[in-house]
Structure 1
Amino acid sequence: MHATLTPFPDFPASALSGPLREPRQMLAEQSYDGHLSIHDDATAGELGLSAGPIEGPTHFSQFDPLLFGLFGQDWFETGCISVHYQNMVVEGESVRAFVQPPADGQRVAQIWAEKRDGTPVLKGTASVGNVPDGEHEIPKRIAKLRPSTGLVINHDLKVGQRGAQAETITMGFEQHMGAYYPFSLADKLKVITEPSPWYTPEGGTQSPWRRAIVPMEMISVLLGSTVKLAGFSGRGPAVGLFAGQQIRLLKGPLFVGQAYGLQREIIALSESARTESAWVRTRVFEPGTQEPVAEMILNSATLKNSYANYEADARTLGLTP
């Protein structure tokens, strides 16, 4: 394979930190379970936030030029990004991405992002190739979880529970991705923080794969757009957010217009003082095969104080809220 274009032609290949960017809010009209999400300004205000936050994986794009510079084409074929989200970002705030390359004899880079004033946004790891999953941020966090005995919102969910039905997904350039993601890939490419010709109809034909590829941040959209079909909803209505996420390409990239099959499984349940979390692994297959081409682990956290019946349900279940 050979390419006549580079993915980020205006980005210095030697950079270990990127420029300050102001990512755009695309989810103000997101809805699920019949209500607006935390990304709606009014809903966010009711929860004590200044405005609807930008979705966490939006920041992945700021790492793509840095990690391509570090790992080359492998980043788009076998790259893994694994992060814990630390603080929310609202539109108008500036964010910078940082990468610390692996030390001699190691294969995993440390990555993090900060706001202009140094406030941490996320931290985690990135790698390419056959690196054991346990060397990454999200599996490390899962390994440290204690068994949950006081779940209320997620009381009816079980570790090992599989998606309720088969899912097949596609992302076209103009395809509206539904109530969870009320925009298209074309809409995103107009405002993406790090544009690349490899993401476009014209430039994609000159990529190493001769096809346009799905940006890493949009893999989250692709896999999340049909999640309701899995039947993993807890008690509600309640407001959720992404607390951590890992996207791993096994035989990438994922392509625009390509159909993929999904299999979902709850791999952990946990709780904190403010949230209950369902950790879901989503495996991605080319239809008709059982060979995974990518996967995502998502810590989907639900705010306890956003569920009106939390205390009443806790008493009914014999739990202390």
Structure 2
Amino acid sequence: MLRRAFETEILDDGVNLIGPWRSPRQMLAEQVYDDHVSIHDDATAQRLGFKGGTIEGPTHFSQFAPLGERLWGDAWFESGCLSAHYRNAAFEGEEVQAVIVKPPPGARETEIRMIKRDRAEVLRGTASVAGAEGPTALERRLAEGLPPLQDPAILADVWVGMKTARQRVRMDFDQTMGALYPFSLRRKLAVITEPSWLYDLETASENQWGLVVIPFEMLSVLFQYTARDDGFPVRGPAVGLFADQEIRLVEGPLFVAEDYELEREVVAMSASRRTESLWVRTSVMRPGSNRVVAVMLLNLASLKDSYAPYARERAAIHGHAPP
């Protein structure tokens, strides 16, 4: 691509490429699932011990796109991969900064992190493109072993290997992306941290693909669009949050107003003191074929405290006294 996709100012300190400080917008205050508001609602988040409604993790992926393009050029849009463990929530009004380690010449993978002004890490992981030799951050995480899920309640009816039927999805400019994402691409582009002419209907036809590119952060929205319609039998209502996420382009970019098909599979289940976690791989294909164009791995962690009958159902299912 002769013309750079972004005008983002990038600092090169010799070791890292560093993006500017940004204040992402929180657009999910009205998100609804299981007929209730989510962790992105201030009151709900505060009741569960958070400062306020959290900014959804993949919103931060936009800030890494200019850094990925600087390292790998067009390959970033065709086979870019971000793989991240979310470490601390960010809230509207806070400034965050994307940092990517400069890899050796010819290397196709590197480390990433995002920090707040107080140096707290929002996320840590890897960025890569096709031909990377090492595992991604989440591939390492899965290979090292996850804390086992024992005596589940919220995930009592789910098992590893469970799959959903194939669903067709698309993203148009003015299409509201459902109860999970109560906004349109056009509204997102009005506040996105890293705008690009590739995302603009009037200019994108000048790119080598001739179509409008879906921003990296909005791939998560597209892939989750039907998640509540064809989802797994997770008990609720319970509040969930993204704990780990990897998005990999295989035959990218993905385009606005194009049809895709996807299917989901449970690939792992795990637990922490506060959560039961469902690890789902979403494979995205061209309609009527098995050609995979993108893959997302998502750890959706359900908060035990948000599920009212948690202790009672856990005891009933597994035959022991509530904890």
- In 2, Cα distance between equivalents of 1:150 and 1:140: 26
- In 2, Cα distance between equivalents of 1:105 and 1:292: 26
SS across alignment from 2:206: coil
Which residue of 2 is the match for residue 312 of structure 1?
312
Shift of 1:10: 4.5
- In 1, Cα distance between equivalents of 2:56 and 2:242: 8
Is this contact kept in 1: 2:157–2:233, CA < 8 A? Answer: no
SS across alignment from 1:121: strand
Which residue of 1 is the match for residue 34 of structure 2?
33
- In 1, Cα distance between equivalents of 2:61 and 2:53: 19
Shift of 1:106: 4.5
SS across alignment from 1:179: coil
One-letter code of the match for 2:39?
Answer: I
Superposition map of 1:141-160 within 5 A? 141-143=141-143, 144-160=145-161
- 1:192 equivalent to 2:187? Answer no
- In 1, Cα distance between equivalents of 2:168 and 2:267: 21
- In 1, Cα distance between equivalents of 2:289 and 2:196: 30
Shift of 1:148: 2.4
Which residue of 1 is the match for residue 6 of structure 2?
8
1:117-140 alpha-carbon deviations (Å, 9 max, x no partner): 1011000001001336x7111121
Superposition map of 1:1-321 within 5 A? 3=2, 5-12=3-10, 14=12, 16-103=17-104, 106-131=107-132, 135-143=135-143, 144-163=145-164, 165-317=165-317, 318=319, 321=323
- In 2, Cα distance between equivalents of 1:231 and 1:244: 18
- In 2, Cα distance between equivalents of 1:41 and 1:225: 23
- In 1, Cα distance between equivalents of 2:248 and 2:311: 38
SS across alignment from 1:175: coil
SS across alignment from 1:64: helix
One-letter code of the match for 1:76?
Answer: F
- In 2, Cα distance between equivalents of 1:72 and 1:149: 45
- In 1, Cα distance between equivalents of 2:207 and 2:233: 39
- In 1, Cα distance between equivalents of 2:58 and 2:231: 23
1:148-175 alpha-carbon deviations (Å, 9 max, x no partner): 2221110110000001x32100001111
- In 2, Cα distance between equivalents of 1:272 and 1:150: 12
- In 2, Cα distance between equivalents of 1:112 and 1:59: 10
Identity %: 50
Is this contact kept in 2: 1:101–1:108, CA < 8 A? Answer: no
- In 1, Cα distance between equivalents of 2:29 and 2:250: 32
One-letter code of the match for 2:264?
Answer: R
Is this contact kept in 1: 2:8–2:19, CA < 8 A? Answer: no
One-letter code of the match for 1:264?
Answer: R
SS across alignment from 2:150: coil
SS across alignment from 1:265: strand
SS across alignment from 1:205: helix
SS across alignment from 2:223: helix
State the TM-score, normalizing by the size of structure 2: 0.94
Shift of 1:6: 2.2
- In 2, Cα distance between equivalents of 1:95 and 1:207: 30
- Worse overlay, 144-153 or 175-184: 144-153
Shift of 1:256: 0.4
SS across alignment from 1:300: strand
- In 2, Cα distance between equivalents of 1:115 and 1:233: 36
| Gaps in structure 1 of 5+ consecutive residues | none
- In 2, Cα distance between equivalents of 1:114 and 1:236: 33
- In 1, Cα distance between equivalents of 2:263 and 2:131: 21
- In 1, Cα distance between equivalents of 2:123 and 2:88: 7
SS across alignment from 2:228: helix
Shift of 1:107: 3.0
- In 1, Cα distance between equivalents of 2:4 and 2:132: 26
Count of matched residue pairs: 317
Is this contact kept in 2: 1:13–1:69, CA < 8 A? Answer: no
State the TM-score, normalizing by the size of structure 1: 0.95
1:64-107 alpha-carbon deviations (Å, 9 max, x no partner): 00110011110010011000000000100000000002246743
One-letter code of the match for 2:33?
Answer: Y
Is this contact kept in 2: 1:167–1:229, CA < 8 A? Answer: no
- In 1, Cα distance between equivalents of 2:150 and 2:92: 37
- In 2, Cα distance between equivalents of 1:208 and 1:233: 42
